[in-house]
Amino acid sequence: MTDRSLHVPTTAGRPLRALLTVLVAAVLPLLSALLVAVAAPPASAASLTEVTAFGSNPSNLRMHLYVPDSVRERPAVLVAVHYCTGSGPAFHSGTEFASLADRYGFIVVYPSATRSGNCFDVSSPQALRRDGGSDPVGIRSMVAHVQQRYGADPGRIFVTGASSGAMMTNVLLGNYPDVFRAGAAFMGVPHSCFATTDGSGWNSACANGAVDRTPQEWGALVRAAYPGHTGPRPRMQIWHGTEDSTLRYPNFAEQIDQWTDVHGVSRTPAYTDRPQPDRTRTRYGATGSQAPVEAISVQGEGHTLPTGGMAAGAVTFFGLDGTTPPPDPGPGPDPAPGTCRVGWTTSAWNTGLTATVTLTNTGTAPVSGWALSFTLPAGQTITSGWGASYSPSSGAVTARNVAYNGTLAAGASTQIGLQASHTGNTAKPASFTLNGAACSTG
C-alpha cells in the first residue's frame, strides 16, 4: 500500500512544492523592495543655493543661502562669514552651522568675497562706517532679502565668522548695531584695527597684535561707525587660540577691551570657568550664557578655529538652541529711554570731587538686582563709594547694588555716591545704562 502523504503531486513532471519555492523566492525580493520604498523617509530637500539680485551690493559679493527643511515660523538668521581664500560654499561644508540649522530651524546666509585672495574688506574707510559702501553694505542687503523673503524675525539676526570673517563680524556689529543682535568672532581683531588709508587690505601691525589702545579708544571707534545710534548694542562672543601666528593672540584682549567699553561693563570678569581642559571662558557684565561679552581662550590652538563643537557654543550664546531665554529685546527699533532716570550732582575741588547719584526706576515693573553702567571722563578715578560696589575705578565703570537696595519698585529711587580724584576734567558721564537699557538723565 502506498502512503500518499509521502508523495507530492507533480505538474509537467516537476514537484509543485519546488515550483512554489521558486515563485516565493522570486516574489519576496520584489515585495521587500516595494515595502522599503514605501517606508523609507523622503530625502532632505535642503541644499545650499545661490541667490542673485538681493539688493545693493557695491563690491559684487556672492550670496549662498541654506534654508533647512524644518525652518521655523519667523525664523532666526545667522550670517556665517568665511576666512581669506575661502568661499561661502566652503564655509558651509567645512563648519557645523548648517547641521545646527537643521536641528534648530534657523536660516544661514553664507556671503562670498570676490576680491583678490577672497578676503573681506575690513580696512577701507568705506567699510568702517555705516552704509559707507563696500562689503558690509552687501551683507546688510543679504539680511534684508532674507527678512523679506522668509519673514525672518528682525530681533534674531546674528553673525559669526572665522579670521577675515571674524574681522567682518566685529565690523558688522559696529556698523549695524540695530540689525545684529549678537556676534561670535573666531580669530578676529577689533573693529577698525585693520584700518588703512593707502588702499591696502592688510595691516601687519594689527595682525601681529602690535596695536594697543585703551578700552575707551577702541569703544570710540565702534561708536564712530554709527554716531547716531543710541539703542542697545549687540552682544559679542570672542574666540582665539593662544598660538595663533596669523592674527596674534593680543588681539583677543583688545577685542575684550573694545566690547566691554561699548557695553559699559567692567573689564573685570563677572564669571570665569574652564568648560574644557584647554579652554578658559570669561564673561563680562553678567554671569549667564548670554552675557554682554563672553571670551574663550583656547590654549595651544593656532589659526584653526572653529574646531568641532565650537559652532554649537556660538549657537548657545546666540540663544538659538532653546536652552536659555534671550536676556533682552535685542536690536530692532531703538527703545526710547525712560525705564530709568539718573540724576548726577558733582561737588569738585582742585584735585578731587564727589558725585551724588540718584537712580530712579521709571518703568512699570520692579527691578530686582541692578547694574548701572557709565564711562567716567578721562582723568577721573574713583577712590571710594557708597550705596553700590564700583568696578573698575576708572573708564567704563559698573555700579552694582548692595544688599539693602537690590530691588527698586516701580517709581522708586535709590541714592548712591562716589568720591574720585581728577586731573582737571570734572564733567559727569555722558550716558548711563541700567542692566543694559539706556537711561534718561536729569
What cell does 162 get?
A: 572665522
Look-up of cell digits 566691554: 260
C-beta of residue 269 within 8 angstroms of C-beta of residue 442: no
What are the CA-CA distances from residue 236 to residues 8, 233, 260, 433 (Å)? 83, 9, 9, 17
DSSP designation for 71: P
C-beta of residue 251 within 8 angstroms of C-beta of residue 185: no
Sequential DSSP letters for 75-98: --EEEEEPPTT--HHHHHHHSSHH
**CB-based contacts of 22, cutoff 8 Å, min separation 6:** none
Q: How far apart are CA 27 and CA 142, in angstroms?
A: 55
What cell does 145 get?
A: 532679502
Q: Which of 123, 163, 192, 373 is catalytic?
A: 163
What cell does 11 get?
A: 505538474
163 noted as active-site residue:
yes
C-beta of residue 169 within 8 angstroms of C-beta of residue 193: no
Could you give the residue numbers annotated as active site?
163
